[in-house]
Every structure is written in C-alpha cells, then in structure tokens.
Amino acid sequence: MGGCGVHPLDDVRHRTAELGYWLAEPCWGRGIATDAVRALVPVAFAESGIVRLEAGVFSNNTASMRVLERCGFTREAVHRRAITKHGVLLDEVVYVHFGPSGG
C-alpha cells in the first residue's frame, strides 16, 4: 500500500530529520498519506529530539505538496534542476516543520 518514515540526519544537521513517504496509486485520493504523515510528525518530534523535520517533493507532485501543507509544513525552498526522474529534470521543493513549539 505504501510507506512512511523519518530518517535522522547527522553531523551538523543532527537535530534535523528527513520525512519520506509513498503511496501506491490505487490508494491515492483517500487521505491516507495525509493521515499517515499527520500521525507520524508528533511521534518524530517526541521520540527523537529533533527540532526540524524536512521533506523534499518533486516539483510536479502537487498532491504531495498538499499533504505536507495540510500537516503543518511550510514551503521553505526550491532547489532548481536538482532531480532527474525518468529522464525528466525537475526542481525539488523543500518543506519544513518545526514541531509543536513552532519556530
């Protein structure tokens, strides 16, 4: 059906983690990804000691951007021409969440 996870970063970024998720196409449009991310975010902050959670999205994936926005993430940056998928050069849109304390 899909997956969702948090990957802690290291060295000078040790208080940051990266959120990743995917969902099989037959499951799209049901709010499943939104529910999964919404459930995982508070656990990530409570269990890991991070202060920042970030997620990169392919610029053509507007549905994923909506998932993050519904879950309290803010669009922070666009990395121009950073991704090549299936031979197509895309921008990467970076979203960030600072946890329950905001920031």
Averaged over 25-47, what is the pLDDT? Answer: 95
Q: Report the chain's mean pLDDT, rounded to a whole number.
A: 94
User: What pLDDT does 100 receive?
Assistant: 76
Give the residue extent of every domain in the chain: 2-97
Which homologous superfamily does the CATH classification assign to the domain defined by 2-97?
Gcn5-related N-acetyltransferase (GNAT) (3.40.630.30)
What is the distance between the alpha carbons of residues 4 and 35, in angstroms, rounded to a whole number? 11
Q: Where are the alpha helices (DSSP H) in the chain?
A: 32-48, 62-70
Cα dihedral 103/101/79/4 (nearest 10): 180
Strand 74-85 with 88-97, pairing: antiparallel
Q: pTM of the prediction? A: 0.92
Confidence (pLDDT) at 99: 82
